[in-house]
Amino acid sequence: MRVLFLGDVVGRAGRTAVEDMLPAIVAEGRLDFVAINGENAAGGFGITEAICQDLLDAGADAVTLGNHSWDQREALVFIERQPRLIRPANYPAGTPGRGADIFTAANGARVLVCNLMGRIFMDPLDDPFASIDRILDGLTLGRDVDAIIIDVHAEATSEKQGLAHYVDGRASLVVGTHTHVPTADHRVLPGGTGFMTDIGMCGAYDSVIGMDKEEPISRFLRKIPQTRFSAAAGPATLSGVAVELDEATGLATAIEPLRIGGDLAPAWPSFLGEMPSGLDAGD
């Protein structure tokens, strides 16, 4: 079973990259399931119903969120009627939407997608370790579900790694999102869980984590906001990670990064075959 998880989609540049490239990646890579973090998709801040639908139409099976979940106020409403939009499970009780759900992959597999938010240097939400225990309680990977994918939206690398090791052997894939910079530590953990501390962003890397450079630099220099942050334009890199799963156990057998277009060095998972023609240039 082949799964792709794409990092935070930032603004129009990131959305365009997903819409232009993902259909060919799904087809040529024979992907069974695709998840995308979409919490920065609307100009860098939140997600709208129309944008969420565009990501789903491009080939996503589930869209996860994070600390910008409610920046677009309409998300508080439409998340209730969009079952494929998943917000952090450790938001307080009564928060709209759902923090985990089971989806059917292209090959018929049952895929549980969970979203958690870290607490270090971020809003002090409920304990993500306790939250994932509640979600996984009574579920056996390979018996009750065929794959378990967890998006840990967190600032601290230590917290992401801690959560990954905590669920090692109980989940198929743990990806870190939020910091928008891909790390080089993709690997299969000892218990069989695929992991990457941060899978990067789908956006313009000639930026400060996806934002136009001038305003962030100005704030670093003067500590005074001059204007609002705005998502950077320009060539975008599609960044994420692909994992191959054992269909009997749901555990990872291979994991490799995917990066296409824009300013970063390209990377294409070897188990997906040949990269579709034209995508290496970000066309």
Catalytic, 68? Answer yes
Residue 283 has pLDDT above 70, yes or no: no
* Phi then psi dihedrals of residue 50, to 5 deg: -65, -40
Domain positions in the chain are 2-281
Q: Are the CB atoms for 39 and 46 separated by under 8 Å? A: yes
Confidence category of residue 280, pLDDT binned at 50, 70, 90: low
So what's the pLDDT on residue 120? 96
Question: What mean pLDDT comes out for the span 191-217?
Answer: 96
What is the Cα–Cα distance from 97 to 78, expressed in whole angstroms? Answer: 9
So what's the pLDDT on residue 279? 78
Report pLDDT digits (tens) over 69-127: 999 999 999 999 999 999 999 999 999 999 999 999 999 999 999 999 999 999 889 99
Choice among 68, 153, 178, 186 that is catalytic: 68
Residue 278 has pLDDT above 80, yes or no: no
Domain 2-281 has CATH 3.60.21.10: yes
